Amino acid sequence: MAQNLSNKNIKIWNSLIILFSIIGLIVCISVLFPQVRQMIMNYAEKIAQREASTYQSWIRALLSYAMGGICFILFFNYCLLTSSGRALVKIVKEEIKDCLSEIDFKVLIKPLLFMSVVYLLGILTIIRANFSYNDDIGWAIGGYREWYNWSRYVVVLLSFINHPEIRITDISPLPQLFAVLVLALSSVLLVYILGKKKITTIRLLASIHLGLFPYFLECLSYKFMAQYMAFSIFVCIVPFLFITRKKAFLFVSIISLLVMCMTYQAASGIYMLIAVILCFQYWNHREKTIKEVLSFLGISAFAFCFAMLFFRFFLMKPADYYTSSEMHQLSNIILGTLNNIKDYALTINHDLSYIWKVLILIVMLLFITKSIYKSAQRKILSIFVAIAVIILSFILSFGVYILLSIPLLDPRAMLGFGIFLAIFCVYIVIDYKKIATFTVLALNWCLFVFAFSYGNALADQARYADFRIGILLHDLNCLYPSADREDRSIQIQNSIEFTPTIKNISKNNPVIERLVPRRLSETYCWDVCYTTEHFNFLKFDVVDWRKNDIDFNTLDLPVVLDSYYHTIKSDGENILIVLKH
């Protein structure tokens, strides 16, 4: 009787799955027809009252989503409706359970609390600065969730946990505290994986480059995005908890990489970074045979390539605002990639101080030395392989951005270099001499000193920028007290300079000038938004601050106000603001 009831329930579920799958396939396939796409464009045009051409990028994305939906439905049905699919699901499920049962989660609690305190201490001055960092201005004023424009669908979903209302609001420092917790867990898991489940204080401290390296400090400066950027690192580390079971590792790797792509794509190199260092460790210590090492590397590479390609063709919405998601043409991919690697290396060389570069060089030399000393392979071969691992890891740290025709070189996009450094620092302090510990701790101290300086610099620049903006808006208000005119056009020439404290920091750490926003910039829209809407002066969409078709310098506008900080030229309709240093 019970068996018959169970079979009946299974048949009902299977029928429902087939029904919804057919509906889903019909919807997805219908999108592929031009008539349906045109109907969608006409409807969007009617609702938003815009030209249909505005939605071309959305239509292209919709085609990709439809194809992805078809693939997902077919795979989903294979797993649930076929005997081989159900067997595969059962095996993967059991392997995941086995891997999780082998982890002693109680061992991770104290290290997690310790690293949370370390990271919280590191970003204390950033939290205290309370600086609205770039896009934070738009999110705080507009309250929108437009992360899907960058294919960050997971961010949109997760944002409803922090912001259950329709419009998001500034709840800082809560997102940054969440980021601290996620980074702490990421550090603990990284040490757990690289250290073969052995966690020590020095190994944990060696991993803090993961979250406190200058490039990721920009991520932690965002009040709205900090925790999601940290989460993208975490999901790239999680798959390696399952490396003892191939099918579970492959499944979790693909899912985790897709989640990373839909969270923050700058973390795309972290997964392969860890895979390469683990392969080197297995090979150099003869922990596994060459066949086993190649098998693990092959599974990792397959999971990475599959996830990247699936995201690219079925989930990604092309970006075309301040950067591009287009790759180099096949005929130029080698030369273009080499140029990107060169630009990446030159940017890092420019950003970091002399002492940082010396300490990083020592870390790399210690890695080579340890590889030789601990090697179970031929010493000469170990030298060349260790050098090759460093070079390959450095390239991988930039992730898929290394292949883009216009790669993003903002600090936040280069966060992979901090993880690259964290991995090598953890590696050299595992069962090695005191010189490695001293080098890593010296580098850590540099991290903390810079992190504290950076947070204080944000506060100092904000104070000075608000002072300059206040004077400017006061003068504009006196000259043009009516705020209702929509025909007013304003151009800004130059930008306010950095404060003396930032100039002092930049003498040793030039990266500070790439991290701290200037405000009152003619080139960045959020600075304009901050200057107008944040101070309740004028709505950003009322004033044309960047009327680029005409250079106001060519209009020979009369000077209406000249002060120590700026000169205002105007004919009553066109206003040119020349900022002075």
Task: Assess whether 499 and 391 both reside in one domain.
Answer: no
Question: CA distances (Å), 228 to each of 123, 221, 324, in order?
Answer: 16, 12, 21
Using the predicted structure, report yes or no on whether residue 485 has a pLDDT greater than 80. no
Task: Assess whether 152 and 269 both reside in one domain.
Answer: yes
Using the predicted structure, report yes or no on whether residue 542 has a pLDDT greater than 50. no
Task: Assess whether 300 and 402 both reside in one domain.
Answer: yes
Give dist(CA 577, CA 561) in Å, integer: 10
Q: Phi-psi region for residue 433, left (φ > 0), alpha (ψ -120 to 50) or beta?
A: beta
Whether the predicted model's global pTM rises above the 0.85 cut: yes
Residue 465 lies in a domain: yes
Task: Assess whether 371 and 338 both reside in one domain.
Answer: yes
Task: Assess whether 58 and 113 both reside in one domain.
Answer: no
Residue 89 lies in a domain: no
Q: Which two tokens stand for residue 534?
A: 């944040």
| pLDDT attached to residue 150 | 79
Surface-to-core class of residue 65, CB atoms within 10 Å of its CB (0-12 exposed, 13-18 middle, 19+ buried) = middle
| pLDDT attached to residue 260 | 96
Task: Assess whether 329 and 282 both reside in one domain.
Answer: yes
Task: Assess whether 109 and 64 both reside in one domain.
Answer: no
Among 85-94, 233-242, 458-467, the least confident range = 85-94
Mean pLDDT score of the chain, rounded to an integer? 85
Share of the chain above pLDDT 70, in %: 84
* DSSP state letters, 116-163: HHHHHHHTHHHHHHT---THHHHHHHH----GGGGT-HHHHHHHHHH-
Query: Is the model more confident about 48 or about 201?
Result: 201
Strands 574-579 and 559-562: unpaired
Closest CA to 181 of 220, 218, 213: 220
Confidence of residue 312 (pLDDT cuts 50, 70, 90): confident
Give the total number of structural domains in the chain: 3
pLDDT, average across residues 325-340: 85
Give dist(CA 129, CA 212) in Å, integer: 16
Tens of pLDDT, residues 11-29 = 676 677 777 777 766 766 6
Residue 118 lies in a domain: yes
Task: Assess whether 309 and 170 both reside in one domain.
Answer: yes
Give dist(CA 116, CA 553) in Å, integer: 53
Boundary residue ending a domain (81, 116, 144): 81
Q: How many residues does the chain have?
A: 581
Residue 425 lies in a domain: yes
Task: Assess whether 124 and 209 both reside in one domain.
Answer: yes
Give dist(CA 222, CA 126) in Å, integer: 10
Residue 93 lies in a domain: no
Task: Assess whether 357 and 422 both reside in one domain.
Answer: yes
Closest CA to 360 of 449, 279, 442: 442
Residue 449 lies in a domain: no
Using the predicted structure, report yes or no on whether residue 51 has a pLDDT greater than 60. no
Tens of pLDDT, residues 174-198 = 999 999 999 999 999 999 999 988 9
Task: Assess whether 392 and 459 both reside in one domain.
Answer: no
Residue 97 lies in a domain: no
| pLDDT attached to residue 301 | 95
Provide the edge-to-edge strand list for the sheet that holds 489-493. 489-493, 574-579, 566-570, 559-562
| pLDDT attached to residue 577 | 86
* DSSP state letters, 198-211: ---HHHHHHTTHHH
Give dist(CA 264, CA 222) in Å, integer: 13
Q: Which residues of 398-407 are buried (b: 16+ CB within 10 A; e: fewer)?
A: bbbbbbbeeb
Domain of 72?
A: 2-81
Tens of pLDDT, residues 121-178 = 999 999 999 998 988 888 888 888 878 777 888 998 998 988 888 889 989 999 999 9
Closest CA to 436 of 499, 523, 374: 374
Q: Identify the bridge partners of residue 490 per DSSP, sorted by sequence position.
A: 575
Using the predicted structure, report yes or no on whether residue 58 has a pLDDT greater than 90. no
CA 298 to centroid of chain Cα atoms: 26
Using the predicted structure, report yes or no on whether residue 503 has a pLDDT greater than 80. yes
Task: Assess whether 74 and 109 both reside in one domain.
Answer: no
Residue 111 lies in a domain: yes
